[in-house]
Structure 1
Amino acid sequence: MKNEMKKVKDGKIRDIYDLGDKAIYVYFDKIATSNIVFSETIPDKGKVSNKLTAFWYNYTKGCINNPMISINNADMPEEFQTKEYEGRTMLVERGIQTLPVGGCVRGYATGYIWQNKLNIPEIRDLKEAEKLSCPWYTPTTRGTMYRGKRINIDQSVERIGFELTRKIQEKSIELYNMCSEYAMTKGIIIADTKFKFGINKNENLVLVDQVVTPDTSRFWLEENYKIGRPQTTYDKQLLIEELTKLGWNQHAPMPIISKEMTIQLSKVYKEIYQKITGDKI
């Protein structure tokens, strides 16, 4: 029975169940920002996170290994083959040690680097949302709910060593270019995204966690893209912008996410999934 399996992680966004040499990821519809999980749910968000990650795992497997074995319902233990879990589960290999440092790759002058452009000579003369001459890599510490802390290369070396720091930087940029080029063929701009990595039992670097989803990336539609102004995002940034307008200070009491916002977020999450994969949820 499922409730007799060892739950490795009792999360709010995702639970992990132990199957011995394998594990089951179960994605939920909750959403989090600033390390805080909201009580409101975003319809079908868990399916998007799971299935879009699976898509990118398959697409990038020639570049880097990942832990995915299957997302097919028939490959799951019987307890997870019900309609409740359909599209939300991923069977993965166990024994992967997640690294304490990941990477954020930015391809456009937006977000953090736009806000700090005066301190970054390479983008000082760019307009808002303009494409960078080359992807901008920033190492980040491992954080909960996809909120890691930015660090510099020297701090990354202190935590994981020079060789892993170099590999993560190279793979992050390679992955960003690979995914970004594909997304552009579907009319989507990946303005920035975050990657997490681990070391498997064979001591190889592997890609872990969500990959290029609306939780971890900033998506723009190419048809609406215009340099010199803020862009409409198709990702979790919509919620962050709404919370900023409400004046929330990222501490309790938590604001209530409006019904309209949950519907809008669900719509854009599913729209991005459909545009990238060609499938509907």
Structure 2
Amino acid sequence: MSPLPADEAAVPTVLHTSDLPGLKLLHRGKVRDVYELPGRRLLMVATDRLSAFDVVLPDPIPGKGEMLCQISNFWFRRTAHLMPNHLTGEDVAAVLPAGVDPARYVRRSVVTKRLRPVPVEAIARGYLIGTGWKDYQRTGAVCGIKLPPGLQMAERLPEPIFTPSTKAAVGEHDQNVAFDDVVRLIGAELAEQLRSATLAIYEFAAAHALERGILIADTKLEFGLDDNGVLHVMDEMLTPDSSRFWPADQYRVGISPPSYDKQFVRDYLETLDWDKTAPGPRLPAGVIEGTRRKYAEALERLAGIVLD
């Protein structure tokens, strides 16, 4: 990555929607914009867009994309011994079109391998919260995995579990599925690889985070296959957008703990008369700044990186 002047590097940029003339836009997702590069490569840009309940909200969170990219890169490096990842390590500034200010993109973008996505959201849960808690209340199980009776909200599970879901289009909701459904979708061998890799990464990251006073309640990972059929972890990794991070010193069984992730926004949205369909509501300035601070604190505590 090309170095930036110290004073410039200390100020996060704001980017709601990327604009890279001359590069083919392949996909504009909830948060990431993906461009085609020569040689089976992609340029992945993490914008400051925020989605909640699978709806992209109108207000960006300043610097969020930079924080997401940096924390993902930290985890990709730290878990490379467990699973290959999509990073090529190439200089972002070198692939940007002429005339584009690199300062807006280098800390929020990566050059990656072009992989074939596995059509499953790979989720590891170590604690009973969110849709897992709702499923357990209704059925005593999560994604077909029977759990002990009498568990409370936010209780630590006897061991981490793999609870996959379908991958929904923008504006639609992911659906939890059983492991047998994943086997039918992608085959037994790949499903086993997916489960094993997801749990190994989660357990490694949870141990690291605990040393820094953070509990990782759950996390969602994305995987893809290269041209040789080798499984890679890709997209983002153990970010506040894809995980629930709880301060260990405020954790209590039976309540939803405060978090370093976008649960801060979800909690605000739950106070509104909103049916969780697009368009999403505007966010007050205090909620935007509070969310930004949550992301920044998670990045500093987990990875020792300060962006502002």
By the TM > 0.5 criterion, same fold?
A: yes
Letter aligned with residue 78 of structure 2 = Y
| Corresponding residue number in structure 1 for 2:215 | 189
Task: Supply the distance in 2 between the matched residues of 1:144 and 1:35 (Cα, whole angstroms).
Answer: 9
What residue number does 1:48 align with? 67
Amino acid in the other structure paired with 1:17: Y
- By how many angstroms is 1:102 displaced? 2.7
Report the Cα offset of residue 115 of structure 1.
2.5
Equivalent pair of 1:99/1:142 in contact (CA under 8 Å): no
1:262 to 264, 288, 291: 288
1:64 aligns with 2:83: yes
1:1-281 equivalences under 5 Å are 2-21=20-39, 22-70=41-89, 73=92, 76-77=95-96, 79=98, 82-94=102-114, 96-118=115-137, 119-120=139-140, 121-144=146-169, 147-281=173-307
Q: How far apart in 2 are the matches of 1:147 and 1:185? A: 34
Counterpart residue identity of residue 39, structure 1: P
Are 1:117 and 1:124, in contact at CA under 8 Å, matched by a contact in 2? no
Structure 1 spans left out of the alignment, 5+ residues: none
Aligned AA (1:84): R
Paired residues of 1:117 and 1:123 also in contact (CA < 8 A) = no
Percent of counterpart pairs with the same letter?
A: 28
Query: Is the 8 Å Cα contact of residues 106 and 135 (structure 1) preserved in structure 2?
Result: yes
Q: Which amino acid aligns with 1:90?
A: V
Matched position secondary structure for 1:176: helix
In 2: Cα distance, 1:74 partner to 1:279 partner? 21
One-letter amino acid of the structure 2 residue matched with residue 141 of structure 1: T
Residue identity in the other structure for 2:67: V
> Greater share of helix residues, 1 or 2?
1
- Partner of 1:267, secondary structure, is helix
Instruction: Supply the AA of the counterpart residue of 2:25.
Output: K
Relative to structure 1, the CA distance from residue 45 to residue 20 in structure 2 (aligned partners, 3 Å threshold; closer, same or farther) is same
**Aligned residue pairs, count:** 280
Aligned structure 1 segments of 4 or more residues deviating by more than 3 angstroms: 71-81, 144-147
Q: Which moved more, 1:15-24 or 1:64-73?
A: 64-73
Q: Distance in 2 between matches of 1:6 and 1:88?
A: 18
Contact kept, 8 Å, 2:96 with 2:102, in 1: the verdict is: no
Q: Secondary structure at the match of 1:132?
A: strand
Unaligned runs of 5+ in 2: 1-18, 141-145
Counterpart-to-counterpart distance in 1, 2:84 and 2:147: 32
Normalising by structure 2, we get a TM-score of 0.85
Judged with a 3 Å threshold, the aligned counterparts in structure 2 of structure 1 residues 183 and 147 are, in CA distance, closer, same or farther, namely farther
Counterpart in 1 of 2:14? none
Measured after TM superposition, the shift of residue 147 of structure 1 is: 5.0
Q: Given residue 218 of structure 2, which amino acid in structure 1 is its aligned partner?
A: D
- The farther-off stretch of 67-76 and 166-175 is 67-76
Q: Aligned letter for 2:195?
A: Q
Q: Distance in 1 between matches of 2:108 and 2:246?
A: 25
- SS of match in other structure, 1:166: helix
Work out the CA distance in 2 between the residues paired with 1:4 and 1:253.
Answer: 30
Return the offset for 1:230. 2.1
Task: Measure, in 1, the Cα distance between the counterparts of 2:187 and 2:37.
Answer: 32
2:5 corresponding residue in structure 1: none
- Structure with bigger strand share is 1
- 1:11/1:129 Cα in 2 relative to 1: closer, same or farther (>3 Å)? closer
